[in-house]
Every structure is written in C-alpha cells, then in structure tokens.
C-alpha cells in the first residue's frame, strides 16, 4: 500500500505536469516553445509538483534511495502542502478554469497534495529530528530568490504577493515573513506527526 499510493501520487503529478506543459505551449504558441517553457518553470506550483513527482517515484520504485529519505520526503510534503493551502486561501478565487485547464489545475493543486500527503503518512516514520524542519524551508526560500531574479530580468512575476513592483518593500518583506512562518509551521507539524508515529510504528 505504501508503494502503491506513492506510485499513484507520482502518476497524478507527472500527468498534471505534462498536461499543464501542453496547455501553456498551446496558449503561448505565438511566443514560441522556449518562451512557454520559461514561463512554465516560473511557477512554484510547477517546480514543487516536479519535486514531488521525483520523490514519489523514488518512494514507489526505490524506497531505500536518498531521494526517498525521511528529510527529503518531509521537504516535499511540506512544499506540496503549502501549495495546496496557499492556492485554496489566496489564489483559487482569482481565476476560473475550464476543460483540460481545470483538470490540470485540480491535479497540481488538489489531487497531488492530497495523494502525496497520504503516501507520506503511509511511509516509514520516526527518522526525523526537529532540525530537519529547517531543511523544508530551503525550496520556498530558494524559489523567492529565483522569482525575484526572473522578475528583474523579464518583468514577470508568477504571484502577486511576491511582486516588488506591486507593493512597498516593507509589505513585501512582511509577505515573505508570513509565508516562511507558514512553511515552517507545516514542517514542524509534519515532523511532530512523524515522531509520534515513529513511537508506534517501525521506521
């Protein structure tokens, strides 16, 4: 069951990523494939789903590999949970998707977070230390730097709450601080669950 849910999470993530790639290439056909690919990898949702797809694949096919290690699973689970929460709280109401766009949207923001979190819960537990929660901050903080560098280069920002052109610097700093605190809270909560389960189940 552990590997089955991991495989299902990987399948949904890879399928959602592939579908979204096709859709964005079609939407930006006039700009060319290179421009579409550049826009595609500008979203935290895409990069996180890619991370999760790789980790879930490793959990399904090579559960003893480094890509399926407890700290890596925690980082992936934290980031994808963050994606689902932020999308539902701040972004879901900003746009209505239809057709295949709705399918891709639900796969990346709803199905993959849920399935991967289930796969994470079913995986072995008890291998995390509290300091491992700090490593879960690396992907979102690295994305912030990446997003700012991209935006400075081409003027496009994937998310309004990370757009320095749309808000004063103190507001932007506050936004980043709140998001970082939210990620850390998720990581700590998952670490607590891991340690609790580890006292009752084998790693």
Tens-digit pLDDT profile for residues 17-61: 999 999 999 999 999 999 999 999 999 999 999 999 999 999 999
Instruction: Let me know: does 147 contact 179? Beta carbons within 8 Å.
Output: no
The whole-number pLDDT of residue 23 equals 97
- Taking alpha carbons only, the member of 71, 78, 60 closest to residue 6 is 60
Residue 142: count of CB within 10 angstroms of its CB: 11
Burial label, 34 (beta-carbon count in 10 A; 0-12, 13-18, 19+): exposed
Q: Is the pLDDT of residue 203 over 90?
A: no
Mean pLDDT of the chain, nearest integer: 93
Q: Using CA atoms, how far apart are residues 166 and 35, in angstroms rounded to an integer?
A: 23
Tell me the pLDDT tens digit for each residue of 63-109. 889 999 999 999 999 999 999 999 998 777 778 889 999 999 999 99
> What is the average pLDDT across 182-190?
97
Say how many Å lie between the first and final Cα of the chain, rounded.
Answer: 15
Instruction: Let me know: does 44 contact 158? Beta carbons within 8 Å.
Output: yes
Most confident of 35-39, 166-170, 197-201: 35-39
pLDDT band at 160 (very low <50, low <70, confident <90, very high): confident
The whole-number pLDDT of residue 1 equals 77
Q: Is the pLDDT of residue 176 over 90?
A: yes
Q: Using CA atoms, how far apart are residues 120 and 116, in angstroms rounded to an integer?
A: 6
The whole-number pLDDT of residue 17 equals 98
The whole-number pLDDT of residue 202 equals 54
Kindly state the percentage of the chain with pLDDT values over 70. 99
> What is the average pLDDT across 103-120?
96
Q: Give, for 20, the enclosing helix (H) or strand (E).
A: helix 2-27
């Amino acid at each position: 069951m552990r590997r089955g849910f991991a495989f299902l999470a990987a399948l949904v993530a890879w399928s959602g990523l592939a579908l979204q790639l096709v859709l964005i290439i079609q939407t930006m056909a006039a700009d060319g494939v290179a421009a579409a690919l550049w826009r595609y990898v500008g979203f935290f949702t895409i990069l996180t789903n890619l991370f999760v797809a790789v980790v879930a694949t490793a959990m399904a096919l090579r559960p003893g590999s480094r890509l399926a290690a407890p700290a890596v699973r925690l980082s992936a689970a934290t980031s994808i949970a963050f994606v689902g929460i932020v999308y539902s709280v701040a972004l879901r109401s900003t746009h209505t998707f239809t057709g295949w766009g709705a399918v891709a949207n639900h796969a990346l923001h709803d199905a993959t977070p849920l399935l991967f979190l289930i796969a994470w819960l079913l995986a072995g537990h008890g291998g995390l230390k509290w300091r491992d929660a700090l490593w879960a901050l690396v992907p979102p903080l690295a994305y912030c730097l990446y997003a700012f560098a991209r935006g400075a280069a081409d003027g496009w920002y994937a998310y309004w709450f990370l757009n320095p052109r749309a808000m004063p610097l103190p507001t932007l700093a506050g936004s980043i601080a709140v998001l970082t605190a939210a990620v850390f809270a998720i990581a700590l909560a998952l670490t607590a669950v891991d340690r609790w389960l580890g006292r009752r189940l084998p790693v």
